[in-house]
Amino acid sequence: MMTLAIAIPLIAAFLAAIRKSWGYILYAIAAILNFILSLSLIGAVPSIHALGGWKPPFGINLVLDNASFYAILFINAIFLIVAVFPDIIGKYATVMLVLMAAVNGFVLTGDLFNSFVFMEIISAAAVIIASKRENYYSAFKYLIFAGIAGSLYLIAVIFVYTQTGSLNMAQAAYFSFSQKSLVAITTLFLIGLGVEAKLFPLNGWVMGVYGGNDLAPVILSTAVTFSAMYMMGRLMITIFGGGVLQVLYVLALITMLAGELAALYQKNLLKTLAYSSIGQAGLVLAVLSKGKEPFTSLAYFQLMNEVTAKLVLFLVAGYLVYKYTNLNGIFKSHKVLGTAFSIASFSLVGFPLFAGFQSKLRIIMEAFKGGDYLLPALLLLATLIELTYLIRWNVRLWFEDQVEEGEKGSWRHGFVAIALAIFLVVIFFFPNIYLAPASKMADAITSVSGYINIVTSGLGGM
């Protein structure tokens, strides 16, 4: 059944190539079907699917455990939400369908080379999406980054193959690598995934791509980032446990501070949010790099909060930036959008009453418990910077003298943005909506033997 999550969008993409005008309708149908399908997969957790009927170390297998189940559920929900906006998707519906198939495949796959293939598709589709609104220079920069990252990812896969003799993730997780080869493999994987995960020296593309059009940030900063973070946990913790997690920790802390500082000096709304998403990615990676519970679950909890908030922020910002040239006081004529924007930004900062508070507070408390004072200190500093620029933007968009006459807003944007914003408040009161899936994901990711067991017991009937 789980292959359908890849097959449905893929077949829809091929059909959309036949007649361009079918694109959006096919995208909407595929998004709805995929969301229903990923909900219905809950009965199949945990299981594997051996493609072509070939047993896992020889053939390719898809692994559906708690981690990949909640990841595809979350990702398909985002694709469904984006399906509400035909005007944002425009003629990019076919590319979005390919991206949907690839992200689902990337999360589900249990084979290293197969994950490389899906990463290639993700970067190809993402580069096309980034080129919307003639944003060619940034898209080209992204293409170079993604191309180099992809080739290093492939070299890492080759290294694993020379050591273990197979491309299977479960076998690699079982295999005991020498320390030297583990460092080589994890470094290469870190560079390969670091581009999509927006890790410090590899995130030069983010500002141009997220700041250049309205579609790219909405989908790349949410679904694609989520899948990259999922894979980061899967590879760095489950399969190649240990490795260069310390390096990741340091780089992630630099990413967090650098991203927030750059956002502080940014004058363009979309670019500010782009830098802010770099900073947030740094926080998630720093917490993830601790490599053990409860940090892993908190990392995914924080990631879910951040992605939900960023979806609202980028939807509103992308809509307004391309409608008006001067944004001063624009929320006076878009009160619903403005409210949603403010709620999402407060959640991002971590004010009480909003979702971000729950995750950030927990991260700080757990870090103190573990005797790590560096992470809380830097997190608080980053939050302070974040607070400064988000409040500044809120004040500017709400209270400055309005320059341009406001037009009638789009009800779709208003409805989705306010619904997600209310959801962020609901999560503050019932954090288990996100925390329970996040901790199930983290359990599956930190349990190496559990992962191997799922694959080997899946072999039973073959």
Partner 1 sequence: MRRLYAILIAAGFVYMMLSFLGVVPGYGNIDLCSRVSSSFLLKDVSEQNAKNWLMAKGLETKSIEKVYGEKNKEDGCANVVTSIVVNYRSFDTLGEVTVLFTAALGVGLILGGTRRKKYGLLPNFVFRESTRILVPLIILFGAYIFVHGHLTPGGGFPGGTIIAAAALLLYLADEEFFLSKVSTGALEGSMGGLYVIAGLLGLAIGGYFLYNFLPTGRVGNLISSGIVPIVYTFIGLKVGAELSGLITDLHSEEG
Residues that bind partner 1 (CB under 8 A): 3, 7, 10-11, 13-20, 49-60, 91-92, 94-95, 98, 101-102, 105, 113-114, 117-118, 120-121, 124-125, 127-128, 131, 136, 159, 161-168, 170-171, 174-175, 178, 180-181, 184-185, 187-188, 452, 455-456, 459, 462
Its sign, for the CA torsion 328, 334, 337, 342, is positive
Residue with Cβ nearer partner 1 (130 or 284): 130
437 prior amide bond cis, ω within 30: no
- State the greatest distance between any 2 C-alpha atoms of the chain, in Å, as a whole number: 70
Q: What tokens appear for 249 in the block? A: 């920790």
Q: Please state the three-class secondary structure of 169-221 as a single string.
A: HHHHHHCCCCHHHHHHHHHHHHHHHHHHHCCHHHCCCHHHHHCCCCHHHHHHH
Which residue bears the tokens 């040239």? 325
C-alpha distances (whole Å) from 130 to each of 159, 164, 197, 426, 437 are 31, 37, 16, 33, 31
Task: Tell me how far, at minimum, the Cβ of 286 lies from partner 1, in Å.
Answer: 23
Task: Tell me how far, at minimum, the Cβ of 78 lies from partner 1, in Å.
Answer: 20
Task: Tell me how far, at minimum, the Cβ of 53 lies from partner 1, in Å.
Answer: 4
Residue with Cβ nearer partner 1 (92 or 295): 92
Task: Tell me how far, at minimum, the Cβ of 58 lies from partner 1, in Å.
Answer: 5
Task: Tell me how far, at minimum, the Cβ of 2 lies from partner 1, in Å.
Answer: 9
C-alpha distances (whole Å) from 193 to each of 62, 235, 260 are 20, 10, 21
Task: Tell me how far, at minimum, the Cβ of 275 lies from partner 1, in Å.
Answer: 21
Q: What tokens appear for 426 in the block? A: 């609901």
Task: Tell me how far, at minimum, the Cβ of 215 lies from partner 1, in Å.
Answer: 12
Residue with Cβ nearer partner 1 (247 or 433): 247
Residue with Cβ nearer partner 1 (177 or 341): 177
Name beta bridge partners: 61: 50
Task: Tell me how far, at minimum, the Cβ of 205 lies from partner 1, in Å.
Answer: 16
Residue with Cβ nearer partner 1 (174 or 423): 174
Residue with Cβ nearer partner 1 (159 or 300): 159
Q: What tokens appear for 289 in the block? A: 């790099």
Residue with Cβ nearer partner 1 (192 or 437): 192
Residue type, position 353, single letter: L
User: What is the four-CA torsion angle of 376, 263, 334, 403, rounded to 10 degrees?
Assistant: 140
46 prior amide bond cis, ω within 30: yes
Other beta carbons within 10 Å of 351: 17
Burial class (CB in 10 A: 0-12, 13-18, 19+), 459: middle
Residue with Cβ nearer partner 1 (406 or 450): 450
Task: Tell me how far, at minimum, the Cβ of 22 lies from partner 1, in Å.
Answer: 10
Which residue bears the tokens 């990949």? 68
Residue with Cβ nearer partner 1 (91 or 392): 91
